[in-house]
Amino acid sequence: MPDKVLIFDTTLRDGEQSPGASMNQEEKLSIARLLEELRVDIIEAGFPIASKGDFNSVQAIASEIKDCQIAGLARAKHEDIEIAWNAVKKAKNPRIHTFIATSPIHMKFKLKLNEEEVLDKIKDSVSFARNLCPNIEWSCEDGGRSSIDFLYKCIELAIESGASTINIPDTVGYTLPFEFGEIIKKVKNNVPNIDKAIISVHCHNDLGLAVANSLNAVENGARQIECTINGLGERAGNAALEEVVMAMKVRSDLLKVQSNVNTSAISKTSKLVSSITGFPVQPNKAIVGANAFAHESGIHQDGVLKNVQTYEIMSPETIGLKKSSLVLGKHSGKHAFKEKLKILGYEVGDNYINEIFEKFKLLADKKKDVYDEDIIALVDDTHFNKSNTLKLKNLSIMSGTNSKHVASLELNFKEELKEVSGSGNGPIDAVFNCISKVVGFSPKLVLYHINAITPDSDAQGEVTVKLGYSNKEFIGKASDIDIIVASAKSYINACNKILNFEKNSNMQEGVSEISISNIKGI
């Protein structure tokens, strides 16, 4: 049997450190449930000391998710470790992941510690964590730029102190594949007690080499890969889970390893993460991009028609892109619609399906062709807007090349119907101004992005907005056949997140929060 490589998903921790990718508790739980279905081995649910909200999210995931280990990240400090333990201790299989930097540049300028002081902190923090939790992972931050001899000492001490997983990160994406593989090989051959721990790797993508470095590390003895859905992460991101998993699956003949991942859940997990974070997946992205299984070249089309393996090294079905003969339109019934949702990977209750089906019928009346992407957008648009404080009831626009742009909106705000009108530099600006009047604040529009979900002139437009408010950024995403309506909905979705943030801040008044930017980990 091939060796097993553990998949450690850090979408909810490192992925969330992408600027603008912060998620609320409900959104994190939704992703965690799909990660459980994906059968990742470990979910790093967050950085519990970062904020009360992050602590609560980690705790909620630890309480609900049963089929994955749940990890919480902590610096080499007793307070961090204790809070991480309190967040994950209800998990069926909890893990504390603690780290400290070991590269000369980090020790000198960030930690202001010498090698002996770092070794003391490793022994103290890992021992303290091991007394709380039986499953300890230790990471040498910036391991790729650390002195190899010092790395041996650190790793040996961490294992002696109770760590059963040793993670070697390429924190700044600096190393080349052969170079990083050599580091793993040297650690495996020169740390006396390395056989008592699993070697893990956590590679960043600054030079576009995160997946290559991870696979080279596996070839040299690593048996855990830390990665994220869609390669999400700060700066250029992390190794993409879908890429490392499918590389191991497709090229098992050379790598001779396997993961436990249910690859058929890859596509829908990718779509959910993209929808929640507002980070679109580029069309030519490996595995999950819209063009990953598309063929336009005549030569390629000819080859695929004769034998699909001429240009496809994996089938779409492998990642959950199931082909369906079920074509939906305005005459389709609810039963067929429910079956289509199942094919697309959604299991929904009767009450919820009624709401989505009603929206589908309205869309089908407006559109000639209803694509799978249209239905996915409807589900995503409905799912995260069930308990919103602010809802759009009606919208009308007066606009023209030589006339004033005026918007009139009916909004349900805190269970009261509000009617408001306002002008702007364009129709969308007018709509945003009206919404700001109702909620009582005017956030800064940091990002406005339009994407056509499907082809044709009657395509649904998907709008993503990012609003700056109170030194934070809030993402809203919505779709509609009318781009102005989609813009209004996306702005409202972001405003609802701001309203929820303010509500939670008032409830948690007096709770000290530490900025994630000050405690970013590996």
Question: Would the pLDDT of 325 be above 80?
Answer: no
DSSP per-residue letters across 125-170: HHHHHHHH-S-EEEEEETGGGS-HHHHHHHHHHHHHTT-SEEEEEE
Q: How confident is the model at residue 61 (pLDDT cuts 50, 70, 90)?
A: very high
pLDDT tens, position by position, 256-315: 999 999 999 999 999 899 888 888 888 889 999 877 776 545 555 556 456 667 767 788
pLDDT tens, position by position, 438-488: 999 999 999 898 887 666 666 778 888 989 998 888 888 888 888 999 999
Contacts of 237 (CB under 8 A, 6+ apart): 18, 204, 205, 210, 228, 230, 231
DSSP per-residue letters across 71-108: EEEEESSHHHHHHHHHHHTTSSSEEEEEEEE-SHHIII
In three-state secondary structure terms, 250 is helix
pLDDT value of position 22: 76
Are 29 and 64 in contact by the 8 Å Cβ rule? The answer is yes
Q: Does the reported pTM lie above 0.85?
A: no
Question: Would the pLDDT of 387 be above 70?
Answer: no
Nearest Cα residue to 96 out of 80, 112, 115, 113: 80
pLDDT value of position 218: 98
Mean pLDDT of 159-181: 98
Q: How confident is the model at residue 514 (pLDDT cuts 50, 70, 90)?
A: very low
